């Protein structure tokens, strides 16, 4: 979307990504984001890669406020991304947000440029009588308490609500529209209640794919405002989509099926006999030697070859996958069918001779090898560290 609309810097809100992250998202763009809870809030800034190299400072204040400082052609530019509490939130939470935003602006040195891209969740209203210095007259609806907070903030920091200076068509005054129902106002991003009859009543849409555009069809289920599948994900991620899940299978945009094959091979390896697994490890090592241009005459140890190829032993990867699944089952409730099967003892007497190896026998051997116990599986983070034995 940014490439299509020629946008170099984009502030995003309600990302719901936990932690502090800075990563490339493809198509020459880089994302800086911060979040505390994967179920709510979260802010971020998306930059073109060329601007990403000019980032001097990143301040992640909270899951509602963060800022970036860039140097562009000698100009110091501060980009602030904010996400104000919704109308129904407590007043204390709203005041905390505005206090954090005030502190960020206050700490920016005089002479540096500031741009705030935020979802303020408020209406500043139509007209600008008495507030001409901070807003235009092309707002939306009547001003509410949250909108008054936006205007007061603009006066305090000597800034302006830029979108209100431009007259727009009716269809451009919202960021999302379904049928005759407006979902969010562009200027202040205020949620509007759906009309009686349902948000997606009388709505029709089309799907664009590689072979063209489909015919119109009726929308039965749509996007819920505030869900994890936010409009940002549709606009930013779907345009750059390289793969997706369909009927539990991975479908790649280039038509290949390598990832799905790899997933199924790894799942199948857990049931392969020890002898067969050793044969697969030998075959894997031969492929690595061929790729690196190494032969047995070079007398290079296998661990050195794996280290150069940054690939662990196949058996180690299988053991990690097996223990990961076992830990997942152990953390489920005691009535879960998978856990009950692991603890089940078959009635009757076994046949004569050496008993066959059972799944739990292999699990016990794996846990002994990594120094773990069944009790360790209750702590997910600790369990992941203990069983980690994949690629170096």
The tens digit of pLDDT for each residue in 201-244 reads: 566 777 766 667 777 777 665 544 444 444 444 444 444 556 66
Using DSSP bridges, classify how beta strands 75-83 and 113-119 pair: parallel, antiparallel or unpaired.
parallel
What is the spatial order of strands in the sheet that 43-48 belongs to? 9-13, 43-48, 29-35, 19-26
pTM to 2 decimal places: 0.45
Output phi, psi for 63, to 5 deg: -75, 10
- Write out residues in the chain with pLDDT < 70, as ranges: 170-203, 208-211, 219-248, 251-255, 262, 264-277, 390-392
pLDDT at 65: 92
- Cα–Cα separations (whole angstroms), residue 66 to 62, 100, 312, 330: 7, 9, 39, 39
| pLDDT tens-place string over residues 91-110 | 888 888 999 999 999 888 88
Instruction: Tell me if 43 sits within 8 A of 83, measured CB to CB.
Output: yes
Instruction: Determine the topology of domain 2-193 in CATH.
Output: Deoxyribonuclease I; Chain A (3.60.10)
- pLDDT of res. 79: 92
pLDDT at position 248: 62
- Which residue in 80, 75, 73, 58 sits closest to 10, CA to CA? 80
The domain spans of the chain are 2-193, 260-347+354-387
């Amino acid at each position: 979307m940014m490439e299509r609309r020629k946008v170099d810097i984009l502030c995003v809100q309600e990302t719901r990504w936990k932690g502090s992250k800075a990563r490339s998202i493809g198509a020459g763009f880089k994302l800086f984001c911060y979040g505390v809870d994967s179920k709510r809030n979260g802010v971020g800034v998306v930059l073109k890669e060329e601007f990403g190299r000019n980032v001097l400072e990143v301040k992640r204040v909270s899951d509602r406020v963060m800022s970036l400082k860039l140097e562009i052609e000698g100009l110091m530019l501060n980009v602030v991304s904010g996400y104000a509490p919704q109308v129904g939130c407590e007043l204390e939470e709203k005041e905390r947000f505005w206090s954090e935003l005030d502190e960020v602006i206050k700490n920016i040195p005089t002479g540096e440029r500031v741009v705030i891209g935020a979802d303020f969740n408020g209406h500043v209203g139509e007209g600008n009588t008495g507030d001409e210095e901070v807003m235009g007259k092309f707002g939306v609806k009547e001003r509410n308490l949250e909108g008054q907070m936006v205007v007061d903030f603009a006066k305090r920091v000597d800034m302006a609500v830029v979108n209100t200076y431009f007259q727009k068509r009716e269809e451009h005054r919202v960021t999302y529209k379904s049928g005759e129902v407006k979902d969010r106002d562009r200027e202040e991003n205020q949620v509007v209640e759906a009309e009686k009859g349902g948000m997606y009543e009388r709505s029709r849409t089309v799907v664009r794919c590689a072979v063209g555009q489909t015919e119109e069809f009726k929308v039965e289920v749509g996007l819920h405002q505030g869900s994890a599948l936010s409009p940002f994900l549709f606009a930013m991620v779907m345009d750059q989509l390289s793969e997706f899940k369909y009927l539990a299978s991975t479908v790649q945009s280039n038509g290949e099926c390598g990832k799905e094959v790899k997933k199924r091979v790894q799942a199948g390896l857990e049931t392969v006999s020890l002898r067969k697994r050793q044969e697969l490890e030998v075959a894997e090592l031969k492929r690595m030697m061929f790729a690196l241009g190494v032969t047995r005459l070079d007398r290079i140890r296998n661990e050195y070859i794996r280290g150069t190829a940054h690939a662990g032993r196949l058996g180690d990867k299988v053991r990690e996958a097996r223990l990961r699944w076992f830990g997942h089952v152990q953390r489920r409730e005691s009535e879960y069918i998978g856990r009950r099967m692991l603890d089940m003892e078959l009635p009757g007497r076994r046949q004569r001779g050496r008993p066959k190896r059972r799944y739990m026998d292999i699990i016990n051997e794996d846990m002994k090898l990594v120094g773990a116990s069944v009790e360790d599986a209750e702590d997910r983070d600790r369990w992941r560290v203990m069983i980690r034995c994949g690629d170096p």
